[in-house]
Structure 1
Amino acid sequence: MTTTVIPPAVRPPAGPAHRDGNVLRWLGAYTASMIGDNVFYIALSWAAVRSGTPSQAGLVMAVSAVPRALLMLGGGVVADRFGPRRVVIGSDAVRCAAVLTVAALLFVAHPGLWLLALLAVVFGIVDAVFMPAVGALPARVTGRDQLARVQGMRGLAVRFANVVGAPLGGLGVALGGSATAFALAGLLIAVSVPLLISVRMRETPPAGGANTANTANTANTADAAPAGAEAVGPPGDPDGSPDGAPARGDASGPHARVPDVEDGAAAVPERPATAWRDLRDGLRYIRGHRVLAPLIVTIALGDLGFVGPLNVGLALLADRRGWGASGMGLVVAAFGAGAGAAALLLAWRGTLPRAGSAGAAALLGGSVAIGALAQVPGVGAAVGVALAIGLLAGLSGALCGALLQTQSDPAYLGRVTAVAGIVSLGLAPLSMPLTAAAIGWWGTGPVFAGSAVVCGLGGVVALAVRDLRRAELPR
């Protein structure tokens, strides 16, 4: 008789996340990947402009959004089925290989727009699985009480990548054209792969554990989503099986089996879980959750009211006010500084009391500031208002993201992130051409005011739903 010794799973860190080497390795990988993304888009836009007309370049830049929006729900299923770390590592490896291949081709030839369009489509497809997995990964590298702090650290990483990535991309183009910039992007993405491999996964609670009380409706046993096992396994697994493989005793893995029935009872046929059933289970889980369902509605309304005015609307406002490109740059920088300060606050504090109410109040305050931005005449006042928008909207976004992380059952987190990602990356960008057309018809004041109302409705929903209003972050 042999005895199998199972190494202990990685335990949650005793100290804060910003002092945990495991979290810092994840953050370094995420930051490198985001900087690489920024450099990639600079290289892609420059290569597209040099290879075709402005309209063709715009089509190349937009084509990646289509597969990303269409496939992201499936990407959430993939992240939950195979494990977020495995999916993120694979996604970064594919993106790195694709970008470096295009860089090599551009060094030796001029393939034209078709290659750039193909690369954009590949990025969009990979992003559809990468983004849900990225959202699900923090819950596997730290404890629930540190997820809010990690959300703040992630926000700081995004701001840092935005500030550093664009100049790096421009430097790459200046030194050797688009090929050099693509090569730089590929190398930055490649840095994330060994860092992610070195990140240890922690034991996660079984599905339906911590948050079952927050779910109004539960799925029946036959349709249950993948459940974790309580057995302690080796690093990288909550259950002792390879990362992302079905847990022992899992009721819905790819090779799931129904429980044994009593003697004499009719045998129940096997019902192996499918990707489609996993998707339906995830949507049912979100719909029945008393916090997540209204939270995603809040996020959707906030993004729909925010994206249009603060992107295309701001450029049109600066043009009509005569602020010029430098004035618009100052306003954008002020917004970024405010959002960075909000992320820093959450990373430093780790939690805020009454997170649901605080997020709703910040969203309402940010919506008022959005409406006020179109009424200020000078650049100085606009900078102050933009700073307030960044601080309030950034705080609301960080708190909503932290609640999304802490309220979601880890077994469903990829699908929850995918639904929220579709709202932010699929629906919200559609408001930009509508905002531009509306400003042409009615002017900046009414359009900014209407967007502020939509954004404010998100805060109203959060305050009106008791469970979301009373939601707290773990301490």
Structure 2
Amino acid sequence: MGSPSVAEGAGPVADTAVIPPTVADSVRAAHRDPNVLRWLGAYTASMLGDNVYYIALSWAAVRAGSPSEAGAVMAASAVPRAVLLLGGGVIADRFGPRRVVIGSDAVRCAAVLAVAALLFVTTPGLWPLAALALVFGTVDAVFMPAVGALPARITAPGQLARVQGLRGLAIRVAGVVGAPLGGLGVAMGGAAAAFGLAGLLIALSLPLLITVRLRPLPDGEAAREAGTAWADLADGLRHVRRHQVLGPLMLAIALGDFGFVGPLNVGLTLLADRRGWGSTGMGWVLAGFGVGAGAVSLLLAVRGRVPRAGLTAACSILAASVAIGSLAYVPQLAGAVGVALLIGLLAGLSGAMCGALLQTQADPAYLGRITAVASLVSLGLAPLSMPFAAAAIGAFGLGPVFVASAVVCGLGGVVVLCFPHLRRAELPA
């Protein structure tokens, strides 16, 4: 292992916030590791702030403009995030994930608090909201790859399944608690108060992140010199394409996301409407999915390593695809909630296995760029399937589209089974 003065990423910038080798060599269960728990607290606070921010932004945009203008403001962050995401991966690897996460959280906090202060003293209209959305999307392009690269640097490889479980729990908690918090902020003081609350929650992550310490990179990785940004990006893409596990794993993730996003978003809304379940029924189905995903996250956080990770991912993807296809044919709400619970369990397990394999199989110096590629697929490209899903449902009906989506999702599991190195991939002990 390297010394505490080793560069944090592939570039020449050093970071002294590194775990000394004698400490790094002693493995502690992630859910009992104070270093991991500090990261988890920071991540949860940041995700809570994100959820409150989106509630505040949507409320302020609706109050300040027409529905179409509000929709444009809400979508404004997607473009810079998608365009700049791969470059954000290069930055995360060059300057180190911890430093990039701290810097991007500080920028997000300052931008949100600045808009909150502006809304407290005046009614400026849509322009500051649009500017905030653009800033958030731009910073997210750097923040997301760094967040994805950080877990592998704060704990041992054998603990990454637990970390994926803890991260899943944090996402579920932020989703459940963040929306009511945002609504409470709006009710108490309008959008300005909600933005202020979001900024304070993001600010809470900063002192925790500053205390997080990193495991040093292997000596060979620390010595690698960075080239130009384009060369670094091309190098990262080559690393994914040529890797016997990462290349097919990215394909499996892409197919799973394309098959999953349409039914869970557009399809579920139309299903609830046509079955007469209404928004309440749709909420119960989504709750079933959330409970299932949360339960498997808790199990992974406590249990840790899952044997035969590649094969487990393939089987859970295939089983989840069958459950997705059957959802359109369940006539009763209670049955749909049960199927959604099963989908949450299986999708949560396959997602955690894919995430842990991605982090353990990747060369540590490439983790930011690899995370950026995976994030671009999941958050930049997969949502493009939603308008096609809606049009297909109008033309062919719910059942055939859910089955077609299930087939696409299931192809991800087939890909895992067809590539021996991925199928036999194991998580470190």
Bin the TM-score by the shorter chain. Answer: over 0.9
2:231 maps to a residue whose letter is R
Larger radius of gyration: 1
Partners of 1:345 and 1:351 in 2: CA distance: 10
Decide which of 339, 346, 358 is 2:312's aligned counterpart.
Answer: 358
The alignment status of 1:324 with 2:337, answered yes or no, reads: no
Whether 1:192 aligns to 2:165 is no
More helix by percentage: 2
Aligned length in residues: 413
1:368 matched to 2:381? no
Q: How does 1:49-448 map to 2 (within 5 A)?
A: 49-207=62-220, 227-228=221-222, 250-253=223-226, 273-448=227-402
4+ runs of 1 displaced by more than 3 Å? 4-10
The aligned counterpart of 2:8 is none
CA 1:307–1:5: 2 relative to 1, 3 Å: closer
Partners of 1:426 and 1:5 in 2: CA distance: 37
Shift of 1:435: 1.2
Secondary structure at the residue paired with 1:110?
coil
State how far apart, in whole Å, the 1-side matches of 2:276 and 2:4 are: 71
**Which residue of 2 is the match for residue 461 of structure 1?**
415
SS at 2:24 equivalent:
coil
Query: Partners in 2 of 1:138 and 1:83 — Cα distance?
Result: 12
Q: CA contact under 8 A between 1:12 and 1:202: conserved in structure 2?
A: no
AA partner of residue 23 (structure 1):
V
1:471 equivalent in alignment to 2:425:
yes
**Which structure has the higher relative contact order (CA within 8 Å, separation 6+)?**
2
One-letter amino acid of the structure 2 residue matched with residue 291 of structure 1:
V
The alpha-carbon deviation at position 163 of structure 1 amounts to 0.5
* Separation of aligned partners in 1, 2:363 and 2:394: 45
Measured after TM superposition, the shift of residue 17 of structure 1 is 0.7
Letter in 2 for 1:252: E
1:13, CA displacement in angstroms? 4.4
How far residue 105 of structure 1 moved from its aligned partner, in angstroms, is: 0.3
Q: Output the CA distance in 2 between the equivalents of 1:358 and 1:14.
A: 25
Q: Measure, in 1, the Cα distance between the counterparts of 2:384 and 2:234.
A: 26
User: Would the aligned equivalents of 2:4 and 2:216 in 1 still touch at CA under 8 Å?
Assistant: no
2:130 aligned partner, one-letter code: A
Q: Kindly provide the CA deviation profile for residues 278-331 of structure 1, in whole angstroms up to 9, marking residues without a partner as x.
A: 001000111000000000100000000001110121011100110111111110
Q: Is the contact made by 1:334 and 1:390 (CA closer than 8 Å) also made in structure 2?
A: yes
The equivalent of 1:232 in structure 2 is: none
Query: What runs of 5+ residues in structure 2 fail to find an aligned partner?
Result: 6-15
Q: SS of the counterpart of 2:300? A: helix
Match of residue 44 from structure 2? 31
Corresponding residue for residue 10 of structure 2: none
Give, as a single letter, the amino acid of the residue that structure 2 aligns with 1:48: A
TM-score computed with the length of structure 1 as normaliser: 0.85
Once the two structures are superposed, what CA deviation does each residue of 1:352-389 show, in whole Å capped at 9, x if it has no partner? 11110000100000000001000011101101100111
Residue identity over aligned pairs, in percent, reads: 73
Residue type of the alignment partner of 1:391: L
Contact 2:246 2:362 in 1 (8 A): yes
Partner SS for 2:426: coil
* 1:204 shift after superposition: 2.2
Distance 2:266 2:241 in 1: 33
> Offset of 1:5 from its aligned partner?
11
Per the alignment, residue 13 of structure 2 pairs with: none
Cα distance change of structure 1 residues 12 and 164 upon mapping to structure 2, 3 Å threshold: farther
In 1, Cα distance between the equivalents of 2:300 and 2:394?
39
Give the TM-score of the pair, scaled to structure 2. Answer: 0.94
1:251 positional shift: 4.2
User: Structure 1's 5 and 124: CA in aligned 2 closer, same or farther, altered over 3 A?
Assistant: closer
The secondary structure found in structure 2 opposite 1:301 is helix
What's the counterpart of residue 16 of structure 1?
A: 29
Q: 3-state DSSP class of the match of 2:244? A: coil
Query: Is the CA contact 2:311–2:424 (under 8 Å) kept in the aligned structure 1?
Result: yes
Shift of 1:58: 1.1
CA-to-aligned-CA distance 1:149-197 (integer Å, 9 cap, x gap):
1111101100010001000000000000000000000000000011000
Instruction: Name the CA shift for 1:108/1:72 in 2 (closer, same or farther; >3 Å).
Output: same
Amino acid paired to 1:100? L
- Structure 1: how far apart are the matches of 2:239 and 2:393? 39
